[in-house]
Amino acid sequence: MKKAVLIVVVLALLAVGGWVGWQRLYPAPQQASVFYGNIDVRQVSLAFEGSGRVAQVRVEEGDRVKAGQPLAVLDTRTLQLQAEQAQAQLQVQEENLRRLQNGARPAEIAQAQSRLAAAQADAQRAQRDLQRLQTIVRSSAGAVSVQDVDRARSAARVAEATVRERRDALALLREGTRSEEIDGARAQVQAARAQLALLQHQIAQGELQAPVDAVVRSRLLEPGDMASASRPVLALALTSPKWARIYVDEPLLGKVHPGQNATLMVDGPSGARTSLQGRVGYISSVAEFTPKTVQSESLRTSLVYEVHVQVDDPDDHLRLGQPVTVRLQP
């Protein structure tokens, strides 16, 4: 009897030792860690840079849009009229600058020369009249009054002043426009161009375009509404990137690392499940209380770490907030 018991004990010890040795030589494959979370995507709220009345909204909720596609348009008729006025003012400033740069025309110089010659002739005649009266006064006293001589002297002075004025005007025409005047006219042209460019930019901002490929999530304004920079017109959901937000409790945190492969499973039609591939991206460095959306009640009061699992979704199966099962590969 004792021998039988001893034999059984020895056999049991040999079995345990063999099992331990087998596990060390051929360890069992680690099981993948399973977590539950929700799909998250980036969203963009689009608003016009300026204010105005919405003229058109060209997309509906759920529409797919491409980068650069026009989505909504403001009424910019007032800005277009202002741009036309600025264009006319620019043309006036450019013509003024061109006139100053070209200087006086030959016909204008010839005209100034003729006016100078006429003034000189008038001055010579006035001077001769004055000399004649002065001669008469010296030869026969009383034949000419003092008032006549004074008038003749004044006329001669006026004629000389006119000659100097005409001569200076001719010199200015020949000299051309001063550089300061040309610089001032050039600055006015630049200011007019800047004003026109500003209005054209504001007109272009009246068309709201999609910044990236996305899906229209909601229409927030309709044609006829007043838009402003603080009132978004559309909300877009970006089609890429997408990720699953999961929460990992501290004992399992050592099994999660950036770049780790993952399989995401979502419920499909008729109970079928769709599997997508992903990889671990962001891992929070700060613990937080488990959100209420985590479905495991045993973790509701635990401190966990937020983890983002980036997912490849070329066929756009995933939707914002959709529940998902994430299986992290060991």
Tokens of 243: 């990720």
Nearest-CA neighbor of 162 among 172, 154, 150?
154
Contact 90, 190 (CB under 8 A): no
Calculate the alpha carbon distances from 56 to 206, 207, 211, 234, 311 in Å. Answer: 11, 9, 18, 12, 36
What pLDDT, on a 0 to 100 scale, did the predictor assign at position 17?
67
Domains of the chain: 28-41+240-328 (2.40.30.170), 46-75+203-234 (2.40.50.100), 83-200 (no CATH)
What pLDDT, on a 0 to 100 scale, did the predictor assign at position 233?
95
Helix 77-102, helix 179-204: angle, nearest 10: 160
pTM for this entry: 0.57
pLDDT < 70: residue spans in the chain: 1-6, 8-10, 16-32, 103-105, 140-144, 175-177, 268-272, 290-302
Angle at 25 between CA 22 and CA 29, to 5 degrees: 90
In b/e form, how buried is each residue of 66-81, taking b as 16+ CB within 10 angstroms?
eeeeebbbbbbeebee
